[in-house]
Amino acid sequence: MKLVGTAEVVQGAKTQGYLQVGSDTDGTPFRIPVLVVAGAKPGPTVWVHGCIHGEEYGGAASIIRLVQELDPQHLAGTLVGVPVTNLPSFKAHSRISPLDGANLNRIFPGNPEGTYSFRLAHALLEAMATTADWVLDFHSGGIGAEVPFYAIYDDNGSLASRRAAWLAERIGVDTLWRSAGDFRGTVTAQAAARGIPAVTVECGGGNVTVEHEEQFKATIRNALHALDMLPGTAPVQPQYRIVTDGAFMFTGHGGLFVPACPVGAVLKKGDLIGRVINLYGEVVEEMVNPVEEAWIAATGHRYWPTEPGQLIAEALPVQGRRQASDFPG
Ligand SMILES: [Zn+2]
Q: pLDDT at position 98, please?
A: 96
Q: Are residues 233 and 250 in the same domain?
A: no
What's the pLDDT score for residue 197?
98
Three-state SS at 228: coil
Rounded CA separation 201/176 (Å) = 10
Domain boundary among 179, 208, 237: 237
Between CA 196 and CA 127 the distance in angstroms is 12
**Domain match, 23 and 87 both:** yes
**In a shared domain, residues 177 and 50:** yes
**Containing structural domain, residue 296:** 246-322
57 CA → ligand 1 middle, Å = 10
Residue 17's pLDDT is 98
Q: Looking at the domain assignment, is residue 327 inside a domain?
A: no
CB 175 within 8 A of CB 148: yes
Is residue 98 within 8 Å of 25, Cβ to Cβ?
no
* Cα distance between residue 219 and residue 162, in whole Å: 18
Helix extents (H) in the chain? 57-69, 87-91, 116-131, 159-168, 187-193, 210-226
User: Has residue 329 been placed in a domain?
Assistant: no
Q: Which of 258, 284, 253, 252 is nearest to 272 (CA)?
A: 258
Cα-to-centroid distance, 202 and ligand 1 (Å): 8
Confirm whether 328 is domain-assigned.
no
**Ligand 1 mean position to 142 CA, how many Å?**
7
Given 237, 259, 279, the domain boundary residue is: 237
Cα of 56 vs centre of ligand 1, distance in Å, is 6
> Are the C-beta atoms of residues 46 and 128 closer than 8 Å to each other?
no
Tell how far the Cα of 40 is from the centroid of ligand 1, in angstroms: 33
Determine the distance separating the centroid of ligand 1 and the alpha carbon of 71, expressed in angstroms: 29
Task: Tell me: do 152 and 92 sit in the same domain.
Answer: yes
Q: Is the dihedral of CA 153, 156, 162, 163 positive or negative?
A: negative
Residues 8 and 155 occupy one common structural domain:
yes
- Same domain assignment for residues 213 and 314: no
- How far, in Å, is the centroid of ligand 1 from the Cα of 231? 31
**CATH number of residue 302's parent domain:** 2.40.50.100
Interatomic CA distance for residues 278 and 82, integer angstroms: 42
Beta bridge partners of 38: 13, 78
Rounded to the nearest whole angstrom, what is the distance from the C-alpha of residue 186 to the centroid of ligand 1?
Answer: 10
Domains held by the chain: number: 2
Residue at 161 is within a domain: yes
199: which residues sit within 8 A by CB, 6+ positions away?
A: 134, 135, 136, 137, 151, 152, 153, 164, 167, 168, 171, 188, 223
193 and 255 fall within a common domain = no
Same domain assignment for residues 269 and 219: no
- pLDDT score of 1: 78
**Same domain flag for 48 and 177:** yes
Q: How far, in Å, CA of 5 to CA of 18, rounded?
A: 5
User: 211 and 100 share a domain?
Assistant: yes
Q: How far is the CA of 176 from the centre of ligand 1 (A)?
A: 16
96 and 200 part of one domain:
yes
Q: 89 and 16 share a domain?
A: yes
Expressed in angstroms and rounded, the spacing between residue 108 Cα and the centre of ligand 1 is 14
* Contacting residues for 37 by C-beta, under 8 A, at least 6 apart: 14, 67, 70, 72, 75, 78, 79, 81
4: left (phi over 0), alpha (psi -120 to 50) or beta: beta
Q: Where is the domain boundary, 191, 218, 237?
A: 237
- Ligand 1 centroid to Cα of residue 265, in Å, is 20
Q: List the chain pLDDT tens, one digit each, 329 residues.
A: 799 999 999 999 999 999 999 998 899 999 999 999 999 999 999 999 999 999 999 999 999 999 999 999 999 999 999 999 999 999 999 999 999 999 999 999 999 999 999 999 999 999 999 999 999 999 999 999 999 999 999 999 999 999 999 999 999 999 999 998 778 899 999 999 999 999 999 999 989 999 999 999 999 999 999 999 999 999 999 999 999 988 899 999 999 999 999 999 999 999 999 999 999 999 999 999 999 999 999 999 999 999 999 999 999 999 999 999 999 98
Domain at 222, CATH number: 3.40.630.10
Distances (CA, A) of 218 to 70, 147, 150, 214, 226: 12, 17, 13, 6, 12
CA of 139 to the centre of ligand 1 (A): 4
Spatial contact of 297 and 317, defined as CB atoms under 8 Å apart: no
**Can you give the length of the chain in residues?**
329
Per the CB < 8 A criterion, the answer to whether 65 and 80 are in contact is: no
Residue 211 lies in a domain: yes
Q: Are strands 41-49 and 134-139 parallel, antiparallel or unpaired?
A: parallel
Determine the Cα–Cα distance for residues 309 and 282; give it in Å rounded to an integer: 19
Q: For position 53, what pLDDT does the model report?
A: 97
Distance of CA 71 to the CA centre of its chain: 25
Specify if 306 maps to a domain. yes
pLDDT of residue 246: 82
pLDDT of residue 186: 96
Question: How buried is 128 (Cβ within 10 angstroms: 0-12 exposed, 13-18 middle, 19+ buried)?
Answer: buried
